[in-house]
Amino acid sequence: MTYLFANWKMYLHADEALELAKQAAGFEYDSEKTKIAIFPPMISLSEIINELKGSNVSSGAQNVAWTPMGAYTGATSALLAQKAGCRYALVGHSERRYVFHETDQDVRKKIEACIDANITPVLCIGETKQEKETGEREERLKEQLEIALREMDITSSDDLIIAYEPVWAIAGSGTGEACTPQDVEEVHDFILNCAKALTGHDHPILYGGSVTSENVVSYLSLAHVNGVLVGSASTHVDSFKSLLEACNKI
Ligand code: PGA
């Protein structure tokens, strides 16, 4: 299975997001081989879930609160996302960690909330440029995985997806300079083993950070790269379609 997950961040107005979702719902692809999910701005989520009904395209939340319900102004919980029809939720995206100051402990609580709400978490991890340059990459990734997953009851490999997104490689919030395929291969192997030691399963691992229709094949053809989490290149119909065409060829 190849995962093509589209993180639309805060890039699209509601009418633009709905239009793009409509087009994505009409994409032709083998859903046994490729899994597409759209993570739209929260304000568009219900409308998009409605639009995607009857198609093979799933949807997810870009972020969730860890507590199910209550007096939490501005928050949307994993439970509310699940009730609205979300299948997935991004947890610990680097923009949440570094712009909104979410901690590893917050990330753990969100993973727990997703599992309780029966929504599949996409745990995002990644090192900063400084951690990479000082040789602390593996240590940081291991720490993020351990805090998020230690003694977490995850019953099967598909109940958790991991996304490796080096903070520096993300367009807009990072440098936009993509990670080399050689590095991605090495890091994915490391993540696979660390996660397996924690949960006992081989979880799908996606790469994210400046993925485009030009470089996507160089990642998807690597061992242990089960898909991609794409931001800006998934927000235009032509490049979204080209990404899908590349996945179809794998
Ligand atoms: P990008 O974002 O593809 O725009 O670099 C990826 C992500 O942050 O999920």
- Report, as ranges of residue numbers, the positions in the chain whose pLDDT lies below 70: none
SS3 203: coil
| Residue 227 bridge partners (DSSP) | 3, 206
What pLDDT shows up at residue 133? 93
Catalytic residue among 127, 131, 165, 188: 165
Q: What is the pLDDT of residues 208-232, one digit of tens each?
A: 999 999 999 999 999 999 999 999 9
Whether 96 contacts 203, CB under 8 Å: no
| Residue 229 bridge partners (DSSP) | 5, 208
pTM score above 0.85: yes
What pLDDT shows up at residue 248? 87
Cα separation of 93 and 136, whole Å?
19
Annotation says 131 is catalytic: no
What pLDDT shows up at residue 172? 84
Which residue's CA is the closest to the ligand 1 atom numbered 7? 231
Q: What is the pLDDT of residues 31-51, one digit of tens each?
A: 999 999 999 999 999 999 999
Q: How much distance in Å is there from the Cα of 231 to the middle of ligand 1? A: 4
